[in-house]
Structure 1
């Protein structure tokens, strides 16, 4: 999407304020919503990092609800009101663009945490951290073996003195190859995040992605792990 000429870049996102979903009218923190931006030609594009210049419109519904809103013309109407123009061009693959952008933002976040030294890979390192109660979040590739994932979750429960709780790792909707590329490491099957703030940063990205895909379980599981 091209930037409007002579347009100043938008201010940094104020994460203490709330935004209203243009489809439901409900208010949420920006981290729970997805921003849509409009180019000079009226084309709508995802702005999941909320950094595109100009005005934006916010949505807080999942993919199925958004597809229905598009089919009924509700999204175009809401965008027209938000941007105060009828020249709205919604691409046919908007849903695919959104899902891809949310996935990439989450993987980019994990990559940044890897470079910042706030996460571990490798079962032995993660298990040691878990038993020391140094683990803030546990993640698994979609093709991780159940035995390995369960073993690490058990170590986490023991180390954090929560053996009676349903404390378990989160299975990501991306396989080990995708995680390996994102982190720049080989054969990433499990990820242990050892910094609480890093876990919160990852959880915000991940929960938003999973919500859009239509899961109700994921957001609560993330919040529980970093509480």
Structure 2
């Protein structure tokens, strides 16, 4: 898809990193995270704190009224929560899919071996993983990537081990190693969207060549 414009900031970006808002059958504004809902939509590319501020000050309502050319819209107070819940679910669902497709490894010993062999394309840590365990696997990753002495490290997810374990159908998932490059790219996208929204982005996912800058923010 071509770039879209955030209705709050005017900035343009890849839609994979934005949030589409759509109008429900009764005029309610709802997140359309997969950008599949029929009809017109409006795009936002701000963090949760910025969205909450825009919602409280009426800026979001005004921007949506301009985008949809109507003031007869219902914006739920829970919209920031709905977006965060949806982004978390999208990330966990993606991890579950990759696990079922055997695109990843769990278990510190298996991950350590794969890291040192250079087979790991993406290393992930649960938010409540022990710092010592993270350091050991990060070092193994650097060894396998011939990057000793650099700051190369895994990504600490904004998701704890209980949520990871439930999503993947495995016990005590604390660390995850992605061994397939395409799976790693898919997960970087899901992680990047959530972290960007939470205001804690640690790694910007790649989305290919820059797109056209002439696309509107509504669609």
TM-score where L is the length of structure 2:
0.91
Deviations 1:26-45 (A, max 9, x none): 11001110111111211011
SS state at 1:185 partner: coil
RMSD of aligned Cα (Å)? 1.2
Counterpart residue number, 1:68: 53
Equivalenced residue count is 206
SS state at 1:219 partner: coil
Distance (whole Å) between structure 1 residues aligned to residue 169 and residue 36 of structure 2 = 25
Counterpart residue number, 1:5: none
Where do residues 83-94 of structure 1 align in structure 2 (5 Å cutoff)?
Answer: 83-94=68-79
Residue 136 (structure 2) aligned to one of 151, 155, 167 = 151
- CA drift of 1:64 comes to 1.0
Residue 99 (structure 2) aligned to one of 88, 104, 114 = 114
Distance (whole Å) between structure 2 residues aligned to residue 162 and residue 141 of structure 1 = 23
Name structure 1 gaps, 5 residues minimum.
Answer: 1-13
Matched, 1:188 2:200: no
Distance (whole Å) between structure 2 residues aligned to residue 88 and residue 126 of structure 1 = 49
SS state at 2:150 partner: coil
Counterpart residue number, 1:41: 26
- Detail structure 1 runs of 4+ shifted over 3 Å in the superposition: none
Q: Which has the higher contact order (CA 8 A, sep 6+)?
A: 2
Name structure 2 gaps, 5 residues minimum.
Answer: 207-219
Distance (whole Å) between structure 1 residues aligned to residue 172 and residue 52 of structure 2 = 36
